[in-house]
Amino acid sequence: MQSEIAVKLSENVPRYTSYPTAPHFHSGIDAAIYRGWLETLESGDEISLYLHIPYCDKLCWFCACHTKQTHQYEPVAAYLRSLNAEIVTIAGLLSGKAHVRAIHFGGGSPTILRPDDMVALGAALRDSFDFLPDATVSIEIETNDMDKARLDALAQIGVTRASLGVQDFDPQVQKAINREQSFLQTKAVVDGVRSRGVESVNLDLLYGLPNQTRETICSTVAQALTLEPDRMALFGYAHVPWFKKHQTMIDEAWLPSPTERFAQSQLAARAIVAKGYEAIGLDHFAKPDDALAIAARAGVLHRNFQGYTEDR
């Protein structure tokens, strides 16, 4: 029975991890449509802002995000100039009538930004928009980018929630996906953000990766749990080399079978729940006192392009 379930779950389905889903973002959404959406906002409405930094120092072969590798900073700087111009434009269209409830920096790797640029971007946002006093400021962190200056910059822009991509701590798995990140590196960054006032830490894990086994995923989960994250996400690796060409660097012979993927997901989920985390929907877990778990119990959970959220 479980093998039948595993085969069924291995079938291609629409992307569920984000809402609105990726196909909703297409060239048909032009400036006029976007402006019309913004004009529907009324005075006092609460909004969330998402800023996408589509650059990385190094391309992870498993990644299906919209990003590109750059060894030069000028493309990042040029993108920032355009982003700052858009901030001014959007703020002008809103005319101060909406209040920012949450902001999220994603990518790519938003931590590729130089510390002074990160601080300047945060200041531009606060100068342009009306932030609620308890607004959530979250950011996706590439552990290999981080140093003291960048950690300090996160504190300066008021980051309250940090999300770190772990995937798997096993060296052979990391080599197969071109992402090397030790447990000690990860712990240092988690400790660093917490010491600078970050209230919530999320760790992302993946199952179904090349060279991954039940043993490696269980070991990774056990190590991740020692960091006591407030939230965890457990996603299945999507192998779509026809969509993301760099995934052709992954030898398909290294990928676990559908039955093995299913076993990995079940073992990992059970280990997380056994430590007191509450399962949230398909792929999220949170401590019982976390806002996500509280929202789930109250029946007010939502889904946005970053996944499950308590955002209203």
Domain that holds residue 271: 2-309
pLDDT score for 55: 95
Strands 161-167 and 55-56: unpaired
Domains held by the chain: number = 1
Mean pLDDT over 123-134 rounds to: 95
Structure tokens at 30: 């032009």
Q: 14, 21 in Cβ contact below 8 A?
A: yes
Is residue 202 very low, low, confident or very high in pLDDT (cuts 50, 70, 90)? Answer: very high
Close Cβ partners of 14 (under 8 Å, ≥ 6 residues apart): 21, 23
Mean pLDDT over 84-104 rounds to: 92
CATH number at residue 148: 3.80.30.20
Order of all β-strands in the sheet with 284-286: 45-53, 98-107, 130-141, 161-167, 200-207, 231-236, 284-286, 278-280
Which of 155-164, 171-180, 231-240 reaches the highest mean pLDDT?
155-164
pLDDT score for 54: 96
